[in-house]
Amino acid sequence: MGISRLSAAKRARTAAVLVAIATAATLAGPAPTASAGGSCTPGLCSQTWNNSGTGFYALKNWCRSGDGNGASTTTRPTCGTQKRDYLYPGDRTAGTKDWDVFQVDAGFCYKVYFEVDAGWDFPRTYDRRGKSTLWVKVANNGFAIVNSVRSSTC
């Protein structure tokens, strides 16, 4: 049987986290955490995967404090040196850089699966059909896996 994309994502994250923990333990210091727009240790960076058939943008900086994984805003994040990366179908943001946001385009419905720490995985649907664009936070140390982007159905 084949390996599902979710289990592949979890395996990649688990392996990277174990390497990061081992490295931190070797240096006798705490493991660093990802931060909005900052540098991060591979395996501890926010990451977005595009498993849909439609491309969309990921952005570098979330710009608001106190929001959790999957939080959203209709105000485009513009803080710091904001960068964006277009994710074609099958693409993902680099696991060595911290990408804290993905863009849910107006007129589309996105089905997303979030993975963070054990026990904190959950699905979420962002229906923007007939509505404006939305930007969604990807938690530090977490993945947002966009499985479906559609304009006709949700």
**Structure tokens, 9:** 């994502």
For residue 96 the two structure tokens come to: 């060595």
Dihedral sign, Cα of residue 59, residue 64, residue 65, residue 70? negative
What's the confidence (pLDDT) of residue 12?
A: 54
What was the pLDDT predicted at 32? 33
Domain containing residue 9: 5-150
Domain count, the chain: 1
Spans of the chain, pLDDT less than 50: 1-4, 6, 14-37
Is 109 in contact with 153 (CB distance < 8 Å)? Answer: yes
The reply to whether the predicted model has a pTM over 0.85 is: no
From the CA atom positions of the chain, what is the Rg in Å? 15
Question: What is the pLDDT, as a whole number, of residue 33?
Answer: 34
What confidence score (pLDDT) does residue 118 get? 64
